[in-house]
Amino acid sequence: MFVITNREIDTDGGAVTLSTRFQPGAAQLRMVEVGRKNGGGYTVSGSADGIEDAEGVSRLSDVFAGPRPVLVYLHGNNNTPQDCFERCLRLQESYDVEVVGFSWPSEGRLASGTDLPGLPAGPDEGGDTAEASFARSGTAPAGEGWAERKKRRYRQAKANALDSVDALARSLRWLAAARLFSGQQPMTVAAHSLGSHLLQHALPVDGFSASLAAAQHVVLLAPCCRAAGHEAWLSQLHPRGRVFVTFHQSDSVLFAARIADRDGDKLGANPGSFLVSPSVRYVDFTGGMGGFLAHTYFVAAGGKKLAKVNRKLFARLFNGQADFSPGQGEGPRTVYPLGCSQDGSACHMGLPPFSEP
């Protein structure tokens, strides 16, 4: 599995490590190959040097010439490289796709890799996933040092996303060129949470929209973007198939993001108005499950097992297939338990996204 990154890479002692350092605004990219290690952990191979366009396209062309559809995964806030590796490998194993990840400096540190100055003293709240911990910061009492650190690092991660747009745009140019060169496997681009913020702000970069047009689907998973005005930039996405926007009104991670940003609802919690377009579909996962698990309903997390209805939908989307095919006798309820609106703009899962193992 390949992971593309704008992080600087350390190779001390022969070990390949993706650091928290990066060059703001630079388009330089590195690529590593990642696999699972027997007994736990990951095998990571690659170089500290940036790679040229021809080499990047060549490596990715081999991926598209393989036996499985390609899923490009863009992670969200506070994902370490190891978090990115685990999520990408889990998606690859769960949905029988070839995943290409993009790892960007989302831990909320400065470009030098050092922590933000003047953070409140005291240990971070531990013992849980980064997503769950940030979710609790939204309801933490005023003056809680760990919660303030979470919020400040989240805001810095947003700034780092803006400084990563040129790198993301270049990586998508590689992927689009490799897809068109190979012509074999479809490509779906999935952006989770704050990864959708990065994707949104990469749209003005030359060639980015055209690169996304090589994708079969663009799937915005619990997007951490402002709901207000989202129709304007969403209308700039023109994949070969559809744009899917998933949301859950009980998403506590996006509630915490709203508190940290001091602004309105997030797109992945409450879209407000819908962009009525034959190429855009909003998927409502609200119903029966709150907490941070409402933020990761596309992959098993938090000790819960992914519900079969969720797996069926995302298996189709991540494999570049239509969610349902009327020409083959399939209606909305084939994948959406509560069906869709008459105009098809919104569909409803309506069931708890997770069941007990």
Domain ranges of the chain: 2-12+28-355
Q: What is the chain's length?
A: 357
Quote the pLDDT of residue 322. 97
Question: Is a pLDDT exceeding 60 seen at residue 142?
Answer: yes
Tell me the DSSP string of 232-297.
HHHTT---SS-EEEEE-TT-HHHHHHHHHHTSS-BTTT---S----TTEEEEE--SS--SGGGG-T
Please say whether the beta carbons of 149 and 120 come within 8 A: yes
Among the ranges given (80-84, 259-263, 303-307), the one the predictor scored with the smallest mean pLDDT: 303-307
Q: How many CB atoms within 10 Å of residue 210?
A: 12
Tell me what percent of the residues of the chain surpass a pLDDT of 90: 80
Residue type, 115: D
Tell how strand 98-103 and strand 2-5 pair up. parallel
* pLDDT per residue as tens digits for the range 224-235: 999 999 999 999
Cα torsion through 21, 266, 221, 272, rounded to 10: -160
- Measured between its terminal Cα atoms, the distance across the chain in Å is 28
The pTM score is 0.94
* pLDDT per residue as tens digits for the range 289-345: 444 458 999 998 767 788 899 999 999 999 999 999 999 999 999 999 999 999 999
